[in-house]
Amino acid sequence: MSSTQPNTARPVQILVVDDEPDLRTLYELTLLREGYRVEAAGSVAEAWEYLQARRFDAVITDMRLPDGLGMELLHRIQQNQRTERCVVMTAYGSAENAVEALKAGAFDYLTKPVDLKQFRAVVASAVHDQPAPAPVKAPSSAAADPQGGGIDKTAPAAGSGDAALARLVGDSEAMRLVKARIAKVARGMAPVLVRGESGTGKELVARAVHACSQRGDGPFVAVNCGAIPENLLEAEFFGARKGSYTGSAADRDGYFQAARGGTLFLDEIGDLPLPMQSKLLRAIQERSVRPIGSTQEDTVDVRIVSATHKDLQAEVAAGRFRQDLFYRLNVIEIAVPALRERRGDLPALSTALLARIARDSGMPVPQLSPSVLAQLASHPMRGNVRELENLLHRAVALTDGDELHLDFEATEPGPVDFELPSPPVVSEPPPQMGRATPADSAVPRPDALPADLQSYLDRHERDILVRALQESGFNRTAAATRLGLSLRQIRYRIARLGISTPNDDAAGGGASDE
C-alpha cells in the first residue's frame, strides 16, 4: 500500500510510544502496511532518545507512560521548535485529556481502544504535506473579494489561504490579530469556536480556517443549526437508511458524511436543543455516527468549526447548553470584533461592498465621498458589516448620479409597540341585546367585535413583525430578541404570515439570521 507522504525523497518516519508491547506491535504493523517507516518506544525517556537522534514526521504517543505523560513529549517538541506533529492517545471517555492535549498544540487525538481505520486516517492526515501559512496582511481594496468581511455565504468551499484571508477585509489591529490567529490554528485538527456578534463575518472566518488548513481541498459543509426543524436534526446530521422513516425512499448521507476529509461548520451552535447536543457530543468524541435505521456506525474524519453570537458560558450556567460539549467545541476560540471596534476598516469595507453591489446591479461603482464616510463612521452600526451592506444597498438604489446619499431612517432602532390598537372610547352605552335598530346594523360600531378573530390577530401580528424586521435591518435574530421570541419561533411566524423581505430574491430566502 502507498501512503500519503510529504514532498521529500525519504519515506515517512513515525515514532509510536506506548508501554503495552502488544499494542505497540499492532500499531507498528498497521503503519508498516501503509508504507511508513516506524520506530517504537515504551517510555518518555526512550522516545526522547529517538527524537534526539533523528527527525520524524509524526509522533503517536499514549497519554500515560511508566515514567511520565505523553504531554511531556509534546511540550519538549514545541520548546525545541521541532516540526513533528503529535497525535495523543487517551483512555475512553477521557475528554478532559483530549481537550488539554489539543490546547497544548497536539495535532489530533485518538480514543482507546483505537479503531484501526480511524488510526490510519488520523496518521495520514498528520503526515500530509502542510501548505505554508498564508501571509497575514490586509488586502488592498482592489484585490479584496467584495464580500466585505461578513456577508457572502456562497464563497468557494476551498481555495488558497491568501484568497480566504483576503475576503476578511480590513487592516485594523483587531483584524490583523484575527488573521494571525486563523493562520496559526489552521495547522491542527483542534475544534475551533468562532465567537462574535451577528453580522461580523463568522462564517468567512470559518472558511478561512478551512482554506488555510491542509483540508483546504476537501469539502466545507456549513450548517445553520437554528434553521433545521427539531424532528429532522438527527437525520440531517447523521444520515438515514432507506425506509427508516416515512418518505425515506433511499439511503442518504448526513452533514458529517458529506464533510469527510474536510470541515464541518456548525453555525449558531447555541440554538441546538439539549437532546441533539448530547448526540453531537458523542459523534465528535467517537469520530463516528450512526445513521437512522442503521445498525452500523460510519467513521467520519471531519474537523469541527462552530460559531455563535450567544454567550455560551452563560447558556451553560442557565442549563441551556451542555458544559461537556462547550469544552469540547471551545478548544480554540477566535473572537471576531464588532465593526464599532474597527471603524478604521470602514473605507476598505465600504469600497469592497460597493464594488460587489455595483457588479451585481450592472452599474458603475458610485463615488464614496469623504462626507459619506464621515456619516458612516458616526453611525452606531449595531448590525455590524451586514448593516453596513444594507445601508449601501439602499444608498445605491436611491441615489441619482454618481455620488451616494445615505438614508439612515430605515435602520434606526426604535421602541416596538407590542400592544394591539385600543378601540376608541364609546360615550354612549351600547343598546340592549335584541333591541338593535336598522341604523345599528347598517353602520358598524367602532368597537364592534371582529367577524374573524384569527385574521384580525394575524394582521396586527404581521404589522408588528414587519416593523421589528425593518428596524433591525431585516436581521431575524435581532428582531426575535426584541420581541422576546426564539429564532425558530420568528421563522415560523414569518413563513406563516407570508412576510417577504428585500433579501428574498437575492438570498433565496427570508431575512438574514445574523
Global pTM value: 0.65
Query: Which of 39-43, 144-148, 357-361 comes out lowest in average pLDDT?
Result: 144-148
**Distance between CA atoms of 77 and 60, rounded to whole angstroms?**
13
Assign 3-state DSSP to the chain and report helix, strand, coil percentages, each to 5: 45, 10, 45
Residues 62-104: tens digit of each pLDDT: 988 999 888 999 999 988 888 899 999 987 556 677 778 888 8
Nearest to 57 by CA among 116, 106, 11, 103: 11
C-alpha cell of 121? Answer: 486516517
Pairing label, strands 108-111, 64-65: unpaired
C-alpha cell of 16? Answer: 509510536
Query: Which of 155-169, 286-300, 482-496 comes out lowest in average pLDDT?
Result: 155-169
pLDDT at 503: 56
**Greater model confidence, 59 or 401:** 59
Query: Where residue 513 falls among pLDDT bands split at 50, 70, 90?
Result: low
H-helix or E-strand spanning residue 208: helix 202-212
pLDDT at 238: 95
Residues 238-280: tens digit of each pLDDT: 999 988 877 778 899 999 999 998 999 999 999 999 999 999 9
Chain centre to alpha carbon of residue 175: 18
Strand stretches in 257-411, DSSP E:
263-267, 288-289, 298-299, 303-308, 332-335
**Distance between CA atoms of 510 and 390, rounded to whole angstroms?**
14
What percent of the chain shows pLDDT beyond 70? 79
**Distance between CA atoms of 285 and 106, rounded to whole angstroms?**
16
Residues 412-428: tens digit of each pLDDT: 444 333 333 444 444 44
Question: Any idea which residue has 449601501 for its cell?
Answer: 392
SS3 labels along 411-457: HCCCCCCCCCCCCCCCCCCCCCCCCCCHHHHHCCCCCCCCCCHHHHH
Cα dist from 222 to 104, 264, 282, 293, 391, whole Å: 27, 6, 20, 25, 27
In the predicted structure, residue 454 carries a pLDDT above the cut 80: no
Query: Which of 81-85, 133-137, 203-207, 371-375 comes out lowest in average pLDDT?
Result: 133-137
**Distance between CA atoms of 18 and 23, rounded to whole angstroms?**
7
pLDDT at 447: 56
Query: Where residue 477 falls among pLDDT bands split at 50, 70, 90?
Result: confident
pLDDT at 159: 46
- Domains (range + CATH), the chain: 13-127 (3.40.50.2300), 161-337 (3.40.50.300), 340-411 (1.10.8.60)
C-alpha cell of 215? Answer: 483540508
**Greater model confidence, 133 or 34:** 34
In the predicted structure, residue 150 carries a pLDDT above the cut 60: no
Residues 316-341: tens digit of each pLDDT: 999 999 999 998 999 899 999 999 99
H-helix or E-strand spanning residue 41: strand 37-41
Section 432-436 average pLDDT: 45
pLDDT at 246: 75
Section 225-239 average pLDDT: 92
**Distance between CA atoms of 242 and 238, rounded to whole angstroms?**
14
> Average pLDDT over the chain, rounded to whole?
80
